[in-house]
Structure 1
Amino acid sequence: MRLTIHSDYALRLLMYVGGRPDRLCTIAEIAAAHGISEAHLMKVTHRLGQLGYLETLRGKGGGMRLAKPPEAVRLGALVGRLEPDFHLVECHAPGGRCTLAGHCRLTGILGDALKLFLGHLDRYTLADLLAPGADLRAFIPVSLEVSP
């Protein structure tokens, strides 16, 4: 099982924004803080906005903030909505051409494993990642932090 870069960036972005509830955050500052492409982060921001996780404001003084409380952001649901597919093997994919389709127990076993994986993530919320003692701001250079 491997998550895409899109999901990785989305989780990092939500942790960054969730850790700064008192102000708007910008794509530029988050990209600089994590050393990632602004273009990639723009796509992630757009998708998170579409899914209702972020509220974005355009223009001078614009930026983004969480659209829902961190306690309402279940990690399994988030990852499940962000990942383009979880076709662990060909028989899981629509139109997959496995000669064992319908006669193999592996499909069910892997399907159950995926449910367990997402179920485990769903035991946690964004709030768990932002809990006291999980302050990640110490790892981001001070020069990259924007004053509130």
Structure 2
Amino acid sequence: MRLLRSTDLALRVLMRLAVTGENPQVTPTTRAVAAAMEVPYTHAAKVVAELQHMGLLETRRGRGGGLALTGAGRAASVGAVVRAFEGEGDVADCEGGAAPCPLSSACRLRGALRRAQEAFCRSLDPLTLADLVTEPTGPLLLGIPVRA
């Protein structure tokens, strides 16, 4: 299974904020996070907006503003974040393209792939951001320069 770019970025943003959250003086901006993660600002802004909508992070404008994890963000299940960004769609695009798959009415693969996708997310459910940023990941994340 391959994650969408937005899912990958959401997890990386949350992980970065989880380690900087230990220092309240460091509140990176969306632009700074985008630069540190080497992604377009517009892409990072969409992901940050969705994470804010989900209640996982808060944004503050103006002097001293930036991004910070909420309590819900610190306790968030990685599986729940992946589900939210990946959506309810099927792994295989059985109805897309010029001609839909002729097996779509009796295909067993589609259901098997859906079950595998859910098993993948279920395996991530017990993980929290805190689990992801323990040694050696946390110190490595702190080494990525992000300027407020």
TM-score, normalised to structure 1's length? Answer: 0.81
Q: Deviations over 1:1-40 (max 9, x none)?
A: 2111111111111111111113222112212222222221
1:18 is matched with 18
2:66 is matched with 63
For the aligned residue pairs, the C-alpha RMSD in angstroms reads 2.4
The number of residue pairs the alignment matches comes to 142
Whole-angstrom CA distance in 1 between matches of 2:29 and 2:74: 22
Q: Percent identity?
A: 36
2:141 is matched with 137
1:49 is matched with 52
Taking a change above 3 Å as real, the CA distance of residues 146 and 104 of structure 1, as seen in their structure-2 partners, is closer
Is the contact made by 2:17 and 2:68 (CA closer than 8 Å) also made in structure 1?
yes
Structure 2 unaligned residues grouped into runs of 5+: none
Whole-angstrom CA distance in 1 between matches of 2:44 and 2:105: 41
1:3 is matched with 3
Is the contact made by 1:92 and 1:107 (CA closer than 8 Å) also made in structure 2?
no
Whole-angstrom CA distance in 1 between matches of 2:77 and 2:36: 24
Taking a change above 3 Å as real, the CA distance of residues 111 and 51 of structure 1, as seen in their structure-2 partners, is same
Deviation of 1:107 (Å): 2.4
Matches within 5 A, 1:1-148: 1-21=1-21, 22-23=23-24, 24-68=27-71, 72-91=75-94, 97-135=100-138, 136-137=140-141, 139-140=143-144, 144-146=145-147
SS of residue matched to 2:59: strand
Whole-angstrom CA distance in 1 between matches of 2:108 and 2:146: 52
